[in-house]
Amino acid sequence: MAALIAENFRFLSLFFKSKDVMIFNGLVALGTVGSEELFSVVAFNCPCSPARNYIYGLAAIGVPALALLLIGVMWNNHTWNLVAECHKRGTKNFSAAATFLLFGSIMGRASVAPITWSVISLLRGEAYICALSEFVKPSSLDKFPADYGAEVLTTFPCRDVPANLTKFRDEVTRRLRYESQLFGWLLIGIVAVLVFLTKCLKHCCSPLSYRQEAYWAQYRSNEDKLFRRTAEVHSRILAAKNVKQFFGFVALDKEEKELVQEFPVEGVQPSPQWNAITGVYIYRENKGFPLYSRLHKWAKGVEGNGPTPEGHELLFLAS
């Protein structure tokens, strides 16, 4: 039983550490759905007041979506690679198409959570009903009492309405929920079509074959994993040596002692090397041979990132 539980935990760990784009986007979407459900249950409370309903309803949909978009942009490695590129080298080496695709990649990946939030909010309908209930024309409601003005419509999202207006509240709620869900389904359809067209355009415009793109993706993933793992070990060994030099000894556990003995670290990499492997990478070929990353290019001793007669451009879409 213990072995089965351990195996399940190992599977979940590998699943959540996966860099696969579809799995990552799916996890983001599922997390957003859960957050939206929690927000609706705990935090959403329509003010049912003229002029406030509209602002509150739109804010309930738009503000969290905007926050999720900004978090997605900050979470994307392309963003900071672009910042580093602009700071160190500028974007003069990028064509207009490559720059557009780069921003499209950043915004597309960051849009998963806000679009999911907006879709779930529209399908639920509470925020939409709260925002637009006051704009329903009383004349559009059959036999609506003339004694009540349009202000009473702002109270329809709440349950405290006069008994003789209950059926009108149900009608307004049903009408607005229909519109909200219709917009939600339309948004899903539009996004699905855009994703499909984008994938088709990417593969049609790519100078690489499907198998080489798959290899490139595997290389990027392996290089990133090995670089992070090696950087962690390197920094730990270097820190151990510096601490030992300061105190005269260093308290290491068994695993760290083995690492220090197995991997001698003589020094640190100079800043020009770090700058050479940092930034946005546009796919290049050198004399017909592919260069799959900035680290690959640095290791081969190729200088510059400008276009060459025999080179091809393809946006670096790191997972």
What pLDDT digit, counting tens, does each position of 11-23 carry? 334 334 444 555 5
Same domain, 273 and 134: no
Q: Do residues 93 and 132 share a domain?
A: yes
What does each C-alpha distance from 43 to 56, 58, 60, 127 come to in angstroms? 12, 14, 10, 12
Residues 154 and 67 in one domain: yes
Torsion angles phi and psi, residue 290, rounded to 5: -70, 145
Distance CA 17, CA 25 (A): 13
Is 54 domain-assigned?
Answer: yes
State the pLDDT at residue 162.
Answer: 72
Q: Which of 188, 205, 222 is the last residue of a domain?
A: 205
142, 181: one domain: yes
Query: Is 50 exceeded by the pLDDT of residue 248?
Result: yes
Residues 98 and 176 in one domain: yes
Element (H, E) at 290: strand 289-291
**Who's near 216: CB < 8 A, 6+ residues apart?**
208, 283, 290, 292
Q: How many domains does the chain have?
A: 2
d(CA 29, CA 285): 37
318 lies in a domain? no
Q: Is residue 165 located within the same domain as residue 251?
A: no
Residue 185: the pLDDT is 95
The per-residue pLDDT for range 199-244, each reduced to its tens digit, is: 888 778 777 888 888 898 899 999 999 999 999 999 999 999 999 9
Residue closest to 204 by CA, chosen among 298, 314, 105? 314
Highest mean pLDDT among 42-51, 128-137, 300-309: 128-137
- Per DSSP, the three-state class of 282 is strand
pLDDT interval class at 190 (50, 70, 90):
very high
**One domain, residues 226 and 257:** yes
Residue 35 lies in a domain: no
Q: Which of 64, 61, 52 is nearest to 124 (CA)?
A: 61
For 63-72, how does the pLDDT look when each residue is reduced to its tens digit (9 = 90+)?
Answer: 989 998 998 8
Task: Looking at the structure, tell me whether residues 177 and 262 fall in a common domain.
Answer: no
Q: 30 in a domain, yes or no?
A: no
Same domain, 50 and 149: yes
Same domain, 47 and 146: yes
The pLDDT score that the predictor gives to residue 32 is 60
Task: Please indicate, yes or no, whether residues 195 and 222 belong to a single structural domain of this protein.
Answer: no
What is the pLDDT, as a whole number, of residue 207? 77
Instruction: Give CA separation, 245 vs 24, 239, 251, 268, in Å.
Output: 43, 10, 12, 16
Residues 6+ apart with CB under 8 A from 259: 233, 236, 237
In a domain, 272, yes or no: yes
pLDDT digits (tens, 9 = 90+) for 134-170: 888 877 777 777 767 667 888 888 877 777 777 888 8
Q: Which of 156, 180, 205 represents a domain boundary (last residue)?
A: 205
Residues 166 and 224 in one domain: no
Which of 174, 205, 236 is a domain's end point?
Answer: 205
- Mean of all residue pLDDT scores within the chain: 78
Residue 14 lies in a domain: no
CA 132 and chain centroid, separation: 30
Backbone angles phi, psi at 97, to 5 degrees: -65, -45
Residues 100-122: what's their mean pLDDT? 85
Write the pLDDT tens digit of every residue in 255-313: 999 999 999 888 889 988 998 888 778 778 888 889 999 899 999 888 655 444 344 44
Contacts of 156 (CB under 8 A, 6+ apart): 48, 129, 133, 165, 168, 169, 172, 173
> For residues 196 and 81, which has the higher predicted lDDT (pLDDT)?
196
Q: Provide mean pLDDT across the span 193-199.
A: 89
In a domain, 218, yes or no: yes
123 vs 18 pLDDT, higher one: 123
Examine residue 3 and state whether it is found in any structural domain, yes or no. Answer: no
| Residue 295 domain boundaries | 210-300
Q: Which residues pair with 289 in a beta bridge?
A: 286
- Helices 112-124 & 166-205, crossing angle to 10 degrees? 150
